[in-house]
Amino acid sequence: MATATKTPRNEPSGTPANGNVGLAGLVVGAIGVVFGDIGTSPLYTIREAFSGQYGLVADHDTVLGLLSLVFWSLMLVVTLKYVTVLLRADNEGEGGIMALMALAQRTLAKGSTPAYLVGIVGIFGAALFFGDGVITPAISVLAAVEGLDLVAPGLHDWIVPVAVLILATLFASQRYGHARVSRMLFGPIAVAWFSVLAVMGVANILHDPEVLHAVNPVWAVRFFVDHAWGGIFILGAVVLAVTGGEAIYTDLGRFGARPIRRAWYFFVLPALMLNYLGQGALLLENPETARNPFYMGVPEWGLLPLIALSTAATVMASQAVITGGFSVAQQAMQLGYIPRMTVRYFSSSNMSQVYIPGINWTMMLIVIGLVIGFGSSSELASAYGVSMSMTMLIDTVLLAIVARALWPRWRLWVLPLCAVLLCVDLAFLTANFAKIPQGGWFPVALGVVLFTLLRTWRRGRQLLRAEMHKDGIRIDTFLSGLMLSPPVRVPGTAVFLTADKNVVPHAFMHNLKHNKVLHEQNVFLTVVTLNVPHAHRRVIVEGIGGGFQRVVLRFGFMETPDVPVALMQACDVSDFCLDPMDTTYFVSRESIVARARSGMPIWRDKLFALMHRNAVPASSYFHIPGNRLVELGTQVEI
């Protein structure tokens, strides 16, 4: 398989994306998309910290200690780790755990045990990220709608139905695309949301400025001293303030590091901390507000407008999670970790504007099931954070690998920082383990199921290729014998898709066997997905004589594998040209038969066979027109 040419880079770059868009526009866009998840955390974080399961009393020292933990968690985990450092670990401008995994693997020997383990860890982290990510729409929308309970307690029974209706409408509308709506609404809504958070915080802080002392880390230390080892479990609530940190890194390719950093440093972080401190001041003034310090921090006349704005903000955050799910699924498909699925594009210039129906409806069923099953944001908070803590820990490990190999000057301080962050991540993970019996098992179980599917598909594809290679005939050997007594030649060009460029495609063998003809021009085509976002050299053409050519098409994991378009573009960079009206594509469609062998357990063989049967055909995935396609079947045992 072809691999990308690695361009050495000794220092992190954090290359900004979308250079044709003004910086101010990118900053506003980042506020609306990147920070949607973490921006809705004030709705429930402080409230959950003072819920009955932690047994905290809203006295002076406890409130300041808790706020200090929130502040320094935001500074260490989000500001320092994700915004300052991880945004520099870009894989040719792209971010996210899968891009980081691919970058880390490129620093290791191909096929080595460390590279294999990095792949396992990275995919497990991606599965866990999705497992916790589906909770975001459920908990945020529920938390926003629960404000109705303060306006009119009689509306309590309507909270779940209203939340389900909002979420169902949001998922159902995905097929229409949201790029234009996002640009017009999400940015302004996000700016209004964070502005209101800041104003609410300042208004409440003025009642008790003593709360500002919480920025002193001494209060966090005193909290652990006062609560002994039991205090570690409060981090299970504090982690709610930093959920969404991974999303900041995932959206690197859409906005670039510079706009994200400016939005965070100068707007989002101050707004969040002012609101958290304001809720703390409200608790110092009236401990009874612990049951919902966010909504009880505004006058009665402001409740309904705040509920409306909160709902809009949570819809915005949910949209960001859904879009992120599409993006991660697209990358996973390109890297060969999930079966091919139907992908619809809303823009010919921006490949991030995609819609994947299978992912959309699966997420909708899970999210709505969570809303109905848990019934409240407080119950969902018990399930939130377990998988995210594991993902944050994996990010730290992969960051250390990248820093050690690629950042010779930066690693002198990044590696010690990773050691500190590893301790922080382990503390969060330990605290969240206590949530497993109360619902934390769900995202972990979902992550394990997804990881099993991802690894089964990847391993099954490897076994399938090995089996076909074992029964295959080398092209050079076969063609030399074939041309001694060639069959009848017919006009036109035949393109045979093959996974192994050195082995005669099964479709070619079947065509010779059944049709007994040979086209004037024959192309053995291999499509390769690289571990970089974009391929710099698209087409590799090798003439092998007798009217035969070997062609390799290379795509990055963020690109659309449109084979006919790529072959047409090859005319601009080489002498290889095809007439699309005189070209026929031949594709072999394998039928998988599971057999008990040493490659995988029989149950995984059967699972792979099921996934293979339901995958979108290669012809559709590669955008091969149906009126130019011939499919020939073959049965393979694994």
Are both 448 and 482 inside the same structural domain? no
- Distance between CA 206 and CA 188 in Å, rounded? 27
Are both 577 and 525 inside the same structural domain? yes
- pLDDT-derived band at 74 (thresholds 50, 70, 90) equals very high
Are both 108 and 74 inside the same structural domain? yes
Of the candidates 405, 427, 459, which is a domain's last residue? 459
Q: Is 607 within a domain?
A: yes
Domain with 315 in it: what CATH number? 1.20.1740.10
- Distance between CA 539 and CA 574 in Å, rounded? 9
- pLDDT-derived band at 203 (thresholds 50, 70, 90) equals very high
pLDDT of residue 456: 92
pLDDT of residue 346: 65
Are both 289 and 363 inside the same structural domain? yes
Q: Is the model's pLDDT at 347 over the cut of 70?
A: no
Which of the residue ranges 233-237, 330-334, 379-383, 393-397 has the most confident prediction, judged by mean pLDDT?
A: 393-397
Q: Classify residue 448 as exposed, middle or buried by CB count within 10 Å of its CB (0-12, 13-18, 19+).
A: middle
* CA-wise closest residue to 396 among 369, 370, 367, 416: 416
Q: Is the model's pLDDT at 550 over the cut of 70?
A: yes
Q: Is the model's pLDDT at 510 over the cut of 80?
A: yes
Portion of the chain with pLDDT greater than 90, in percent: 34
- Distance between CA 7 and CA 534 in Å, rounded? 13
Which stretch of 64-78, 138-152, 404-418, 467-481 has the lowest confidence by average pLDDT? Answer: 467-481
pLDDT of residue 18: 47
CB contact at 8 A, 556 and 528: no
**Average pLDDT for 619-627:** 85
**Average pLDDT for 339-355:** 70
Q: Regarding predicted confidence, which is higher, 506 or 141?
A: 141
**Average pLDDT for 362-368:** 93
- Distance between CA 314 and CA 334 in Å, rounded? 30
Are both 117 and 78 inside the same structural domain? yes
**Average pLDDT for 169-182:** 75
Q: Return the SS3 of 114.
A: helix
CB contact at 8 A, 253 and 95: yes
Which stretch of 35-44, 172-181, 298-307 has the lowest confidence by average pLDDT? Answer: 172-181
Return phi, psi of residue 498, to 5°: -145, 145
Q: Regarding predicted confidence, which is higher, 139 or 468?
A: 139
- pLDDT-derived band at 188 (thresholds 50, 70, 90) equals confident
Q: Is 468 within a domain?
A: no
Q: Is the model's pLDDT at 8 over the cut of 80?
A: no
Q: Is 9 within a domain?
A: no
Q: Is the model's pLDDT at 323 over the cut of 90?
A: no
Residue 432 one-letter amino acid: N
DSSP 470-502: HH--BHHHHHHHHTTS--EEEEEEEEEE-S-TT
- Distance between CA 64 and CA 283 in Å, rounded? 10
Are both 630 and 524 inside the same structural domain? yes
Q: CB under 8 Å to 579, separation ≥6 — which residues?
A: 493
Q: Is 502 within a domain?
A: yes
96: left (phi over 0), alpha (psi -120 to 50) or beta: left
- Give the distance from CA 368 to its chain's centroid: 20
Are both 376 and 484 inside the same structural domain? no
* CA-wise closest residue to 191 among 35, 26, 32, 321: 32
Of the candidates 416, 433, 459, which is a domain's last residue? 459
Q: Is the model's pLDDT at 278 over the cut of 90?
A: yes
Q: Is the model's pLDDT at 20 over the cut of 60?
A: no
Kindly report, residue by residue over 247-263, the tens digit of the pLDDT: 888 888 778 889 999 99
From the CB of residue 37, how many other CB atoms can be counted at a distance below 10 Å?
25
DSSP 164-185: HHHHHHHHHGGGG--HHHIIII
Q: CB under 8 Å to 196, separation ≥6 — which residues?
A: 306, 309
Q: Return the SS3 of 505.
A: coil
Tokens encoding 608? 């792979």
Which residue is listed with tokens 């291999």? Answer: 526
Q: Is 583 within a domain?
A: yes
- pLDDT-derived band at 72 (thresholds 50, 70, 90) equals very high
Are both 391 and 497 inside the same structural domain? no
Q: What's the mean pLDDT when you consider all of the chain? A: 85
Of the candidates 459, 484, 502, which is a domain's last residue? 459
Q: Is the model's pLDDT at 5 over the cut of 60?
A: no
**Average pLDDT for 93-114:** 84
**Average pLDDT for 346-359:** 70
Total residues found in the chain within this entry: 638
Please count the CA atoms within 13 angstroms of the CA of 343 that sit on its side-chain side.
31
Structural domain span for residue 167:
24-459
Q: Is the model's pLDDT at 309 over the cut of 90?
A: yes
Kindly report, residue by residue over 555-606, the tens digit of the pLDDT: 887 787 889 988 887 776 667 788 888 899 998 887 787 776 667 888 888 8
CB contact at 8 A, 351 and 559: yes
Q: CB under 8 Å to 161, separation ≥6 — which residues?
A: none
pLDDT of residue 75: 96
Q: Is 4 within a domain?
A: no
Q: Is the model's pLDDT at 210 over the cut of 80?
A: yes
From the CB of residue 384, how many other CB atoms can be counted at a distance below 10 Å?
28
Which stretch of 14-18, 65-69, 258-262, 634-638 has the lowest confidence by average pLDDT? Answer: 14-18
Are both 536 and 455 inside the same structural domain? no
- pLDDT-derived band at 352 (thresholds 50, 70, 90) equals low
Count structural domains, the chain. Answer: 2
Q: Is 197 within a domain?
A: yes
* CA-wise closest residue to 582 among 570, 569, 561, 567: 567
- pLDDT-derived band at 83 (thresholds 50, 70, 90) equals very high
pLDDT of residue 201: 95
pLDDT of residue 11: 45
Are both 480 and 404 inside the same structural domain? no
pLDDT of residue 10: 40
Q: Is the model's pLDDT at 21 over the cut of 70?
A: no
Are both 163 and 273 inside the same structural domain? yes
Q: Is 14 within a domain?
A: no
**Average pLDDT for 115-119:** 89
* CA-wise closest residue to 163 among 341, 40, 315, 275: 315
pLDDT of residue 598: 64
pLDDT of residue 15: 43
- pLDDT-derived band at 181 (thresholds 50, 70, 90) equals low
Q: Classify residue 418 as exposed, middle or buried by CB count within 10 Å of its CB (0-12, 13-18, 19+).
A: buried
Are both 488 and 632 inside the same structural domain? yes
